[in-house]
Amino acid sequence: MTDNELTISRRRLLQQSLAVAGASLVPLGGWPEAQSVVRSRPIPSSGEAMPIVGLGTWITFNVGNDTKLLNESAAVMAAFFEAGGQMIDSSPMYGSSQDTLGFGLDKLGDSTPVFSADKVWTSNPDNGASQIETSEQRWGVPRFDLLQVHNLVAWEPHLRLLQHMKAEGEVRYIGITTSESRRHDEFERIMREHPLDFIQVSYNILNRDIEERILPLAMDKGIAVIANRPFQQKQLIHRFEGKPLPSWANEFEAASWAQFLLKYVISHPAITCAIPATTRVDHVRENMACAAGPLPDADQRERMAAYVRSL
Amino acid sequence: MDTWFSYRLSDFILFSERVYWRLFDQVNDLAGAFLTVLIALGCLLLVGVWSRHRAVRNATAMLLGAFWVSSAILFLWFYYTPVNWAARYAVPFFFLEAGLLILLSFTGQLSRSLHKNDVKGWLGFVLLAYAVVIHPFTSLMFGRTLASAEIVGLAPDATAMATLGVVLVTATTRALYLLLPIPVLALTLSGLTLHALGTAEAWVIPVALLVTVAALASPKLPVDTGNTTTAKAED
């Protein structure tokens, strides 16, 4: 592989940068009482606008049969939609998270603006289709907006299945995922060789591996990027809480460490949507506020990373 | 292979500490009024291990076996499996332990009694007493309420610790090595889970396992035949 292969086309970079620059602040309408103005980015393969902050469900929505926690999760979903959110991501790997989403969607009614993102996760290629069907039933949706091959498990047959489903109109977008910088070489190869609408990767202010190759390649190939674990499962929040936010964080309206960390992630021009997970309504509102306010520019991003490294 | 080495223990935990402790709230809530009965039955284990009557011994083992079945169905299957799919694979082992307890009891393999110099037996009794009487209160000690108390017969850890205690007191050598692996394995997995969740009380399980190891390694002292509670060790 040569460096040239990783070069972002100027036209693509311009397109993405314009999207970041503010043409994408969209007043939200539709869901009851949603009044926010949320920043969105286009999904490159379709141009469809996607709010840049979504909702992850890893661990947080795996609450089993617990009625109290099911209702709390539904309240988080309601706050998320009210603040202008759309993309919710889950997986058959996440315990009862899909059932929790189904409970919440049922409770909130048919008009939610949910963009349903799920995954196929089974080492047996023959089980992929039935697993997706089960996942749709658990969510209570007729079809998913996005299906991804989870962590590249049996990715070749599953990606063929997803391509077939997309061709048949059974899913709108397809993609692949990885987490914690695993198998990036193989991930890159798939990005180069197969038509993908989305990739999903782990990305945060201390885990920046993907900035070097994966994100530039995604921009070059016109692939939307979902960033998972922007807080490294709360570890970053715990690590920095008690330490002072820099005064210049006001310049891009980061009022808390959560907003500082999330704004770093969503300000990268290649990121289409970050999916922080939470169990709390106040936290989902705090996260969604990041999608409405200003974002740091490239220089501020470097300053942010340097500041965090210095702590 | 390198990919596998990149995983941490916490990567395999799919649920939060809050959800884990809520499981005990729920199973205790399900037990409702029977919770008091269950606690009373747990206390009967403390009495049963002192008895030299075969029928009482068999009843004690059957009660313990029933506790393994109830904790497998009510806790593992109803509540734990929805948040941790791996829990379903533990259910057959819980049934196996229940079956072994009952079988070995009826074949006279759980017939040892406590005597004054039986260090292993006394450590076992301490473990049993802890599991039945003190362990439920760890929920209070660690900032939760009694609603999430771990009760023998519902909570796998409490049931496993009680079993280690009963077995250390009453089992012959052969029975000991048949009955110890499943509770030891269950506690080890649970201890790793609690550690990965970052819960403060994760240290309780290693201590229980250390007491078990200490009991197994304890020297065999001569039986003091003058003690009224003495019965000749049958192994």
Question: How many residue contacts between A and B have a Cβ separation below 8 Å?
Answer: 54
The reported pTM is 0.84
Name every chain A residue with its beta carbon within 8 A of the beta carbon of B14: 58-59, 62, 93-95
Crossing angle of helices B204-217 and B119-129, in 10° steps, is 160
Q: Which of A42, A45, A41, A57 is nearest to A228 (CA)?
A: A57
pLDDT mean over A92-112? 93
pLDDT at B4 over 60: no
% of chain A with per-residue pLDDT over 90? 70
Give the residue on B whose Cα is nearest the Cα of A185.
B3
Q: Residue B148 carries which DSSP code?
A: G
Identify the residue with better confidence: A153 or A3.
A153
What would the mean pLDDT of A119-142 be, rounded to a whole number?
95
Mean pLDDT of A65-92: 95
Q: What is the pLDDT of residue B224?
A: 54
pLDDT at B99: 96
Confidence of residue B6 (pLDDT cuts 50, 70, 90): low
Give the pLDDT band (50/70/90) at residue B150.
very high
B78 contact residues in A (CB cutoff 8 A)? 65
Name which residue leads in pLDDT, A144 or A13. A144
Looking at the complex, report in whole angstroms how far the Cα of residue A94 sits from the nearest Cα belonging to chain B.
Answer: 6
What is the chain B residue with the closest CA to A69? B19
Nearest to B49 by CA among B64, B69, B39: B64
Distance of alpha carbon A86 from alpha carbon B12, whole angstroms: 28
Query: Dihedral through CA B106, CA B110, CA B113, CA B118, nearest 10?
Result: 170
Span A149-174, average pLDDT: 95
Report how far Cα A69 is from the mean position of its chain's Cα atoms: 23
Question: In this predicted structure, what is the pLDDT of residue A78?
Answer: 95
Instruction: Give the pLDDT confidence score for residue B7 in this predicted structure.
Output: 66
Q: Which of A23-27, A234-238, B167-171 has the lowest mean pLDDT?
A: A23-27
pLDDT averaged over chain A?
87
Quick: pLDDT tens for B214-233. Answer: 999 987 766 554 444 444 44
- Residue B43 scores a pLDDT above 90: yes
What local confidence, expressed as pLDDT, does residue A235 receive? 82
A92-106, A222-236, A275-289, B6-20: range with lowest mean pLDDT: B6-20
A182 near B CB under 8 A = yes
Tell me the β-bridge partners of A89.
A56, A117
Mean pLDDT of A43-52: 95
Confidence (pLDDT) at B33: 85
Question: Smallest Cβ distance to A64: which of B10, B11, B19?
Answer: B19
pLDDT at A239 over 90: no
Dihedral Cα A82, A176, A266, A145, nearest 10 deg: -20
